[in-house]
Amino acid sequence: MVAGALLAAAAAAAFEAGYVLQAVAARQVAAGRPAGLLARLLRRRAFFASLALGGVGFGLQALALGRAPLAVVQPVLALGLIGLLVLARIVLDEHVGRPELLGALAIAVGAGAAVAVAPSVEGTPGDAAWLGLGGLAAVTVAALASRGRAAALLVAGAAAGDVLVALAAARLGLAGWAGLWWVAVAAGGGVAALLSESAALQRLPAVRVGPSVLACQVIVPVLLAGPVTGQRWPAGADGFVLGAGLALTAAGLLALASSPAVATLRGSDG
């Protein structure tokens, strides 16, 4: 469990660094439909760097999910924002006030609670797995097919794609066709999330895009872990502590992602 949490923390650092470069690349190209962004983004070095960091982050996330359940890995991924907060203070000399410190504390305590009481990794998907995956896939397709005018749909598509990646990463250990299927789900979700989020970053500041996507990344995979991956919610007091930990993590995440210090690094002023 501890090894999984450490791998998730390393994945968080890679994901957040990639997000910063993604925001930079998105603001260097003309706005357009999500499906048409790829050709323009591929001309930017920052985009290739963001892809590389995203790949590293996904690999670390998959390794983490082989050792710890979604209920541990997803909250720990939020620790990446604390790293950005420290970087903003040291490198950019951004002011860090009480709200940011309380947000960082909430994320740390919430992630720690998840590590302490999370259930086992093993599980068998339930009958509702396809329903959950189908709903997420429908949101991603709707966002990609849109003309990019509905910024909220683009944010929802990015969040849904990231949730698909997290759920697929938890099932990558399967052998045969089942394993290949989950690789395809992860790849499709990752591409959809990247394009939708890049389009959203062209229309909205990162301080508005990031919190919504990150909150969904933390909460939704854990809620869907039962039907999709078979990882059950712990019973009794442990279940209450896990729920409180997730709530704390989400609250801290929203506070930190909305702060000017973190938003500066995430590209909101671009």
- Name the percent of the chain lying above pLDDT 90: 1
Phi-psi region for residue 31, left (φ > 0), alpha (ψ -120 to 50) or beta? beta
Domain boundaries defined on the chain? 2-265
DSSP-assigned letters across all residues of 220-265: HHHHHHHHHH--PPPPHHHHHHHHHHHHHHHHHHHHHHTSHHHHHH
Average pLDDT over residues 43-61: 82
Residue 125 CA: distances (Å) to CA of 64, 79, 224: 19, 28, 10
Query: How confident is the model at residue 147, as a pLDDT?
Result: 66
Reported as a pLDDT band with limits 50, 70 and 90, residue 269 is: very low
pTM: 0.73
Average pLDDT over residues 229-254: 83
Query: How confident is the model at residue 265, as a pLDDT?
Result: 62
Q: 64 Cβ partners below 8 Å, 6+ apart? A: 4, 5, 7, 8, 11, 73, 76
Average pLDDT over residues 5-17: 85
Q: Quick check: 270 pLDDT over 60?
A: no
Q: Quick check: 201 pLDDT over 70?
A: yes
Query: How confident is the model at residue 146, as a pLDDT?
Result: 77
Average pLDDT over residues 226-233: 74
Lowest mean per-residue pLDDT among 120-134, 141-155, 240-254: 120-134
Q: Quick check: 166 pLDDT over 70?
A: yes
